[in-house]
Amino acid sequence: MIALILSILSSSAIYIVFKLFGKYNITTLNALIVNYLIAFVLGIILQGNFSVEGILSVTTKDWFYGSVILGAMFILVFSLMVITTQKGGMSVVSVASKMSVAIPVVFVILYYNESLGILKIIGILMALVSVYLVSVRKKEGLSIDMKYFIFPLLVFLGSGIIESSIKFLENTYVPENEVSLFSASTFFFAFVTGLIFYGVRRLRGKSNFKFKDAAGGILLGIPNYFSIYFFILALRMEGFDSSSIFIVNNVSIVLLSTILGILFFRENVIPKNWLGIGIAVLSIILITYTQ
């Protein structure tokens, strides 16, 4: 349970850092690149093997190629989120990314044959409804030109595939003593992919690196690393189905991030958001009770 709580706190800290990016006009892609480098270094430090041989040993691990693909997807999905924000706004990308929890939930239920009682089904449906209600900050709901619908759809699929892949890799290939190394490797390949994206943008004259971008990346890297690290540990908790962990983790992050936004950034909350918060609390209680 401690791992789950720390995963929620780490991910909520990421939300605060991203809000600061907007406040101080930090270029998010640049900060993300630095963030992944910091997360990689942190993972290597926690793994405790600083030798070149130890670091290169990742190429022999069963999870290596999965780590490469997962790291690349981090940057790819982020780029899709940027496009979605430009085409449909923050609410659209927020709903698409957060509702994607449905994909890993369905995956673990079917692939790992997890139990699924009526109360758990109700709890999952309530959780999805709550995510939508909390994420949409406009009274009229979501609105996007259908010719751009492919972008939030790809964010939804990409985000869901990332979480499903984390579950599959950690359960099938990653031993307990290699969680830090797996996390570090994944962040390293996200860093490399980010550098490629940056290089392309630089050649087009669309990107300049500023000191505050690096500072923002350092600030983001620490909670980002621990959000993945503790999430993997949470998925290994005894007495909880992975589908329940996915739901409780994601809904709790949405809930806590919203509360932090109200307290520290004075975000406007409309009645449907408060309704979503209430449903979120009930869904967490219900899903936890069914375990």
Asked whether residue 19 carries a pLDDT value surpassing 70, the answer given is: yes
Considering the chain, what is the average pLDDT of its residues?
Answer: 90
Comparing C-alpha atoms, which of 110, 252, 248, 124 is closest to residue 168?
Answer: 110
Asked whether residue 54 carries a pLDDT value surpassing 70, the answer given is: no
pLDDT band at 64 (very low <50, low <70, confident <90, very high): very high
Query: Per-residue pLDDT tens for 239-275?
Result: 889 999 999 999 999 999 989 988 888 888 889 999 9
Comparing C-alpha atoms, which of 141, 245, 187 is closest to residue 42?
Answer: 187
Q: Output the pTM of the full model.
A: 0.91
Asked whether residue 72 carries a pLDDT value surpassing 90, the answer given is: yes
Query: Per-residue pLDDT tens for 146-194?
Result: 777 898 899 999 999 999 999 999 999 999 889 999 999 999 999 999 9
HSE-up of residue 58 (Cα within 13 Å, Cβ side): 27
CB of 8 within 8 A of CB of 256? yes
Helix pair angle (90-99, 150-172), 10° resolution: 30
Query: Per-residue pLDDT tens for 76-94?
Result: 999 899 888 878 777 788 8
Comparing C-alpha atoms, which of 86, 82, 112, 81 is closest to residue 98?
Answer: 81
Separation CA 98–CA 119 (nearest Å): 22
Query: Per-residue pLDDT tens for 182-191?
Result: 999 999 999 9
Per the structure block, which two tokens stand in for 97?
């990314």
